[in-house]
Structure 1
Amino acid sequence: MKKILIMLVVLLSANLISADTLMGQVSDSDSGEAITGVSVYIKNSNKGIITDKDGKFTITSLEPGEYNVIFQRLDYKILEQVINFPDDRILNIRMLKKPTEIEGMKVSSTVAVERETPVTFTNMSDDMIDEANFGQDIPMLMNELPNVFSYADAGSPMGYSNMKIRGFDQKRIGVMINGIPLNDPEDHNVYWVNMPDFAESISNVQFQRGVGSSIYGISTFGGSLNMQTNTTKAEYGSEVFGNYGSYNTIKSGFKTTRNIKDYFKLNLRLSRIISDGYRDNSATEQWAYFTGLSRIGARSITELNFYGGKEITHAAWYASYEADLEENHQHNPITYDNEIDDFSQPHLELHHSFMINKNMSTKNSLFYIKGNGFYEQYKFDRDLWEYGLVDSSDTIEADLIRQKKVEKNQYGWVGNLDWSHYLGNLTIGSYISIFDSEHWGEVKEVIGSDTLDIDFAKGHEYYNYIGEKQYYTFYANELFQPMQNLNLMANLYYQIINFQFQQNESGNFTGEYLNSYKVEYNFFNPRFGVNYNFNEAMNVYANISFAHREPTDDELFDTWDGPDDLGVAPLFAEADTIVVGDQIDHIEWSDPYVRDEKLIDYEIGFGYDTGSWKVKTNLFWMDFQDEIVGYGGVNDEGSPIRGNADETIHRGVELEIETELLADLKWSGSFSYNDNYFEKFIMKDWDENWNVIDVDYSGKKIGGFPEIIANSKLAYRWNDLFTSLQVQHVGKQYLDNAENEDRIVEAYQLLNLNISYEFAEFLYLADLSLNLKVNNILDKEYETSGYYDAWEGANYYFPGAGRNIIAGIRVEF
């Protein structure tokens, strides 16, 4: 009936249009749905247009005669129709999907499926990303998802940002782009500031909570975040966009998607973000780019992606003393104007998926990630011996400006074979990564060097070390369906990790001050799960998973030391002095004090989906052994050092609800309760007389994560108007592990508003959309995170931004 009415409107409109105008509508031959983004053009002419969101098109200024009209979209068969104009003035075009065998083939094996895969996850669609995105870092975009806690060092959502889930920090959350791991191999972190405006180029997000199975990425603890870019996105056209808001935040950019001949699609984006930041002296300037070229063949998909960005960010990575924030809530303890982080990180990916037959397919990905940059600091009263400027310690001190530099290279391959067999699906795969890095420090300036008895030249190098790391991972995943409503999962995962570290001669790093080590880890992480569908609406699932995590490069040094500190040894029990000739060449270390972490994750969940109501809830119990902590062990002399907590527990409940209250009014919400505590942990510490003492934290709550996180959002859509009102609650956090009520980040609630309006075919030229985002409408003063300084006996906090507004415009051609 709807189609008939549309055609009647088109026919009645025929008498109202000019006699030189060709018009019509394009729809799918199977579903009858209108197809947007179809290129309609007259062969051998410059006349053409793109179908709108209703599949309609209009071509004007045609002379009477015979024409060949071409209809083209990447995922449909090209259609050429001969018309006699003006007799054929109104066209009703039906296009066929390309008869390829790749329909249904998994473009990425990293996606879990509702009511099939027995894991806990939440999806974020393209529309949800577009509605929420105004240029913020990815963690700030994720903070509406269940049990995700995000905050930014600068207070505002651009710059250095952090993400936690279930009490696990970013080191223990796996992040993937198109199935390729993003976590830094050395320190396991993700530096989101190096991926500016990345949300403009992603089409969907899946955040899996709990241990990450190998089929969803490398083994992780808190969760796995998988982002898919929109290289093969069907719609094409061009967009120009811009935002302006509080703290002189400006975002501008351009992106376009174009067909090249029949099978190729080109996706380009360039954008720039600048912001002064909420905190003092926390400005950021970021440039971003994305280039994607894809080809969809009869049995294959090939994608070539090149993306990345460059950022220059003023440091705000230290929390502020509580009293300073009371005087100035935008306080930043870093006052040196040029304390900046300057870094670029380009990514190159090549993906190829091939359909061997209707039951078997392969996917192979090659990638290269390059990191290059530095950060600059002003340091007071430094011992110049540590910087290789004098021969003896404690002789000359001076203020200086230093730069710590790094260059990183990561090469890798991710491959899998997917086989749909009788009653199941088997995936086997591998991940191989080869990583190398060089770290070095340079002294840019010694204040008053001309008055000191030193030989100094700008750019003097005072430390240099290299790291090499290899990952070899193999896995097999079976999803077995013995009956229609029952799915069983078995995942076997084996990983070999090799890490080599070597300090090179530089400054006063020589002989006995040079250290090296080699470590190897072998992990077996099985996972088993079951999903049962009671009916079309209800399902229940459960799984048990095992995971390991090796210590990072900095975790193999003591809490306040690092490989750039002269005279500091790594945390190893055995030392072998290497002598060349009659001189000590370096020290080789073995048998690390710090052990790898181990986790057993138990999950059970329930889902209910009727269309108008969607409810998901789950319980989790995570038994965490040998968690790496600041003072968890002792060395051979009995002194406290970085070590492992015997056993910690992360447990809780998570709830998601979504419902349609009225035809255009939706409500969604989430609630998470976390109970994270030390089951058994006796920390070694010093008393006021520097005697080693035992501090029993067994039964104490783990600091740094809220007990309760909740979100509630009311969204209203009427024609081209969209608006949403969100309430976000973040519960109390302890600043340390003593469970002291004087050392907390107080709970806070934020009210946020989002409004957008779309003008279709504005002035008959383009689609125009306007949007407005108001964060913290009630202008609440709050802190997001922090820590307790035991030496000073003081609380330190990262402040959150007050009321802030950002407005945007987007023009689509």
Structure 2
Amino acid sequence: MLLPCVASAQFSIKGKITDRSSHQPLPGASISIGNRSSTSNSNGDFSITFLEEASYQVRIRYIGYKEYSRTIRISGDQTLDAALERNSFITDEVIVKATRAGENSATTYRNMNRQEIEKNNIGQDLPYLLNQTPSVVVSSDAGTGIGYTGIRIRGSDGTRINVTLNGIPLNDAESQGAFFVNLPDLASSVDNIQIQRGVGTSTNGAAAFGGSLNVQTTTRRDSAYAEINNTYGSFETWKNTVSVGTGLINDKFTFDARVSRIKSDGYIDRASSDLKSFFLTGAFYGKKDLIRANVFSGKEKTYQAWNGVPESILDTNRRYNEFTYEDQTDNYQQDHYQLLYTHTFNDKLSLNTALHYTYGRGYYEEFKDADSLKNYNISPVVIGGTKIETSNLIRRRWLDNDFYGLTYSLNYKPQNTLELILGGAYNEYRGDHFGEVIWAEVPYVDPASNYTSAKRRYYEDNAVKTDFNSYLRANYQSGKLNAFFDLQYRRIGYSFLGFDRNQRNVQQKDNLNFFNPKIGLTWLIDSRSNVYASFAVANKEPNRDDYTESTPESRPEAENLKDIEAGYRIRGENFQAGINAYGMFYKDQLILTGRINDVGEYTRRNVPSSYRTGIELDGQWRILPQLTWAATASLSRNKIRNFTEYVDDDNEQRTFEYKNTDIAFSPSFIGSSEISFRPVSNTEIAFLSKYVGKQYLDNTSNRSTVIDDPLNRDRVLSAFFVNDLRLRYNTGVGSIKDIGIAFQVNNIFSELYENNGYTFKYIYEGALYSGNGFYPQATRNFLLSLNVKF
């Protein structure tokens, strides 16, 4: 691919970015010329090199100023000085500023803008759009990246990753996971994302024990537009999206709307997805006020593939799905309402507030074969003198919940070198959990009506959770030293149906108070590079199952994390890079040990001491004007110092002791690469690679116990190396602003791999037996997209 490249004349452009009124330099302004970009230094200067002779669109953006845009012709080295005019209204960037890390912040982060999101957004869920970022591993139940997908950052799963939309929590309050299947095609309404690794800055919602995803949805677009996007791909995959916007009306109002549909049969048998969503937003921009209202919703119906494929048939039928009942589906709808308000009192003081409400409801339906009637509080049925205690039946397990609250941040900047932010939130969750038997093979008497019935509600559990937090952050600049401290207090109250000390299932309460301090220093070596170090503390409450499936005596403690980050960042004319070292030290981390507690459940248990340490690299190099290489690498060590495993042996459990075992699902090496080649204008050929090292399915590091396993099965996910190819071409025709064609071949070499799994073991007649389940991913498959912008 490189051999045919012919070097052409290459030129540079440099200049200075200043304030039009004061003539003061504007450091940190964003300059883009074609597909090249740069940032102005502390003197407002910028430089971009390796430009071919051509016409380019120049865009310069700086928070609080009007965007500068013009077309220039490059035929030699040029100088471009731009004087930016202050906006007469507030920009959307202020909405997420309080929960974001800044350019010189002592926080480990990666930003993705709308253009980067768009080029990858041709059908797969949001986690797959983040697959090329450092320390990330993604997974898919259906094997295609559509439907139920998961993401891990530094080995921490989705329940330990804080996700916010415009600063508003997305994580489920009880399970603490963020389920992107409930918001299909969210990426089409996203303007930018900041991915923080480690504890990160104080934010709202679930504690960040591995990382944070700070998502900002649609922001102001000054020109009216309409976009139609259609994707077709393997496994009868379809994505249809229509987006429209009014642009800025009377310099005050904007309105945007999107509607989407995604359907796929899935790689795994019957693992189909039928996903629908819409997004509506309207905004008012005043001289001192910004008001934005967002209304968006997602509805999903997915056929269950939750149980994966047993290892015993993996080689003969990788697409096996044990579920065969026609309506073995998950059905859920989630509606979101957000009202965001920003007021600027003066050039030193501003206030951000948001009211939000989320309504979720749905169920999953499943067929149960010869299940015990007593599990459903149904008395045995006598037919023909025979007492029947089991029956085939169909059940639905429901969740009907409300989540609402208020977020706020008060920003005070008394001088250029000092900024103070007082922020926080109060959120309340109310969840109604209940189950129904909707059909049974044998009739039974409904005690409520005393009539024979085939529908019965067999459990009901109402839960209430309150979450209050407040934080104070200060950033201070003194010469080349930038310092910050961040102090957060968080109080949680949880009322739930669970077992008391006498193992009665009654309503219970728990209250937790957390203090999460953070401190960091950044040294500005020069305008292009800096070094930083930070220390942060985070505390995290147990999740719903930890509470409901235990008694106060066996209930686990909250987890504690101390996170140390240190790194170096540099940005040059043709490259940018960052290297980061981290140490995450846990006290009482919750993991699965196989132990059965006092109510007969397998629940997570605290381990006294565990840790994650590692080095991460994130870089991009423009080798030639047409050729760019971006790469990430993560090398880590993830250990539990002392681990006790419990294994069932008839009616008792045996224990096995281990030292310095690997934490499950924590590969020691993760790497990614993206080689982008533009042979001609408006055309891109990109080759994407991802390597994920071996992962253990449990916390024993696959070590042998004193009992041999007759099946000798390794409890590991094998390392995998997957490559994708993406082709893009964009052009404009007449009144059509842009026609974009994208063709992506995923897993181009048809690697046979699994990116998620589980294991179990037991002792029978003195021998240890184990079994594994895996989630195979699709072999070579494609997505073809046509995007038309007006």
**Matching residue of 2:635:** 673
Q: Distance in 2 between matches of 1:35 and 1:703?
A: 45
Counterpart of 1:396 in structure 2: which amino acid? E
164, 170, 174: which one pairs with 1:182?
A: 170
Q: Which moved more, 1:794-803 or 1:762-771?
A: 762-771
Q: Distance in 2 between matches of 1:622 and 1:484?
A: 31
Q: Distance in 1 between matches of 2:203 and 2:629?
A: 33
Q: Which moved more, 1:803-812 or 1:98-107?
A: 98-107
Counterpart of 2:720 in structure 1: which amino acid? Y
551, 556, 559: which one pairs with 1:571?
A: 551
Task: Tell me how large the CA RMSD over aligned residues is.
Answer: 3.2
723, 726, 746: which one pairs with 2:688?
A: 726
SS in 2 for 1:345: strand
**Matching residue of 1:472:** 468
Tell me, yes or no, if structure 1 residue 429 matches structure 2 residue 423: yes
**Matching residue of 2:3:** none
Q: Distance in 1 between matches of 2:189 and 2:494?
A: 33
Q: Which moved more, 1:103-112 or 1:671-680?
A: 103-112
CA contact (8 A) 1:632 1:682 kept: no
SS in 1 for 2:144: coil
Q: Distance in 2 between matches of 1:35 and 1:618?
A: 29
Alignment of 1:223-262 (within 5 A): 223-259=211-247, 260-262=249-251
**Matching residue of 2:515:** 524
Deviation at 1:769, TM superposition (A): 1.3
Tell me, yes or no, if structure 1 residue 345 matches structure 2 residue 334: yes
Q: Distance in 1 between matches of 2:515 and 2:590?
A: 20
377, 393, 397: which one pairs with 1:404?
A: 397
CA contact (8 A) 1:216 1:224 kept: no
Count residues in correspondence: 700
Shift of the 517–132 alpha-carbon distance from structure 1 to 2, 3 Å rule, reads same
**Matching residue of 1:618:** 580
Alignment of 1:301-312 (within 5 A): 301-312=290-301
Alignment of 1:51-90 (within 5 A): none
Deviation at 1:355, TM superposition (A): 1.0
**Matching residue of 2:743:** 772
Q: Which moved more, 1:409-418 or 1:536-545?
A: 536-545
SS in 1 for 2:546: helix
Question: What CA deviation, in whole Å up to 9, does each residue of 1:247-273 have, x standing for no partner?
Answer: 000011210110344310001000100
SS in 2 for 1:357: coil
Q: Distance in 2 between matches of 1:53 and 1:410?
A: 47
**Matching residue of 1:295:** 284
CA contact (8 A) 2:227 2:788 kept: yes
Q: Distance in 1 between matches of 2:778 and 2:737?
A: 36
Deviation at 1:231, TM superposition (A): 3.2
Alignment of 1:37-52 (within 5 A): none
Counterpart of 2:439 in structure 1: which amino acid? E
Counterpart of 2:559 in structure 1: which amino acid? E
Q: Distance in 2 between matches of 1:357 and 1:35?
A: 34
SS in 2 for 1:127: helix
Question: What CA deviation, in whole Å up to 9, does each residue of 1:537-561 have, x standing for no partner?
Answer: 2211111111111111111244xxx
Question: What CA deviation, in whole Å up to 9, does each residue of 1:739-782 have, x standing for no partner?
Answer: 1272211111111111111121x255453111111101111111
User: Deviating runs (4+, > 6 A) in structure 1?
Assistant: 28-31, 33-36, 74-77, 391-394, 450-454, 636-640
**Matching residue of 2:97:** 109
Deviation at 1:317, TM superposition (A): 1.0
Tell me, yes or no, if structure 1 residue 363 matches structure 2 residue 352: yes
CA contact (8 A) 1:682 1:695 kept: yes
Deviation at 1:516, TM superposition (A): 1.6
Deviation at 1:421, TM superposition (A): 2.3
Counterpart of 2:216 in structure 1: which amino acid? Q
Shift of the 536–96 alpha-carbon distance from structure 1 to 2, 3 Å rule, reads closer
SS in 2 for 1:326: coil
Deviation at 1:140, TM superposition (A): 1.2
Alignment gaps of 5+ in structure 2:
1-19, 24-28, 35-54, 59-63, 68-81, 704-713, 763-768
Q: Distance in 1 between matches of 2:597 and 2:738?
A: 66
Q: Distance in 2 between matches of 1:488 and 1:76?
A: 30
690, 697, 700: which one pairs with 1:738?
A: 700
Q: Distance in 1 between matches of 2:363 and 2:602?
A: 32
Q: Which moved more, 1:411-420 or 1:685-694?
A: 685-694
Deviation at 1:389, TM superposition (A): 2.2
Q: Distance in 2 between matches of 1:243 and 1:689?
A: 53
Q: Distance in 2 between matches of 1:702 and 1:34?
A: 43
Q: TM-score, normalization: structure 2?
A: 0.83
Deviation at 1:651, TM superposition (A): 1.1
Q: Distance in 2 between matches of 1:392 and 1:675?
A: 57
Tell me, yes or no, if structure 1 residue 662 matches structure 2 residue 642: no
Deviation at 1:337, TM superposition (A): 2.1
Q: Distance in 1 between matches of 2:544 and 2:325?
A: 28
Deviation at 1:632, TM superposition (A): 7.7
Q: Distance in 2 between matches of 1:750 and 1:740?
A: 25
Deviation at 1:673, TM superposition (A): 1.2
Alignment gaps of 5+ in structure 1:
1-27, 37-51, 56-73, 78-93, 505-510, 559-569, 574-591
CA contact (8 A) 1:529 1:542 kept: yes
414, 417, 423: which one pairs with 2:407?
A: 414
Deviation at 1:693, TM superposition (A): 3.6
Tell me, yes or no, if structure 1 residue 485 matches structure 2 residue 480: yes
Question: What CA deviation, in whole Å up to 9, does each residue of 1:557-581 have, x standing for no partner?
Answer: 44xxxxxxxxxxx3223xxxxxxxx
Deviation at 1:638, TM superposition (A): 12
Tell me, yes or no, if structure 1 residue 335 matches structure 2 residue 331: no
**Matching residue of 1:66:** none
Q: Which moved more, 1:268-277 or 1:106-115?
A: 106-115
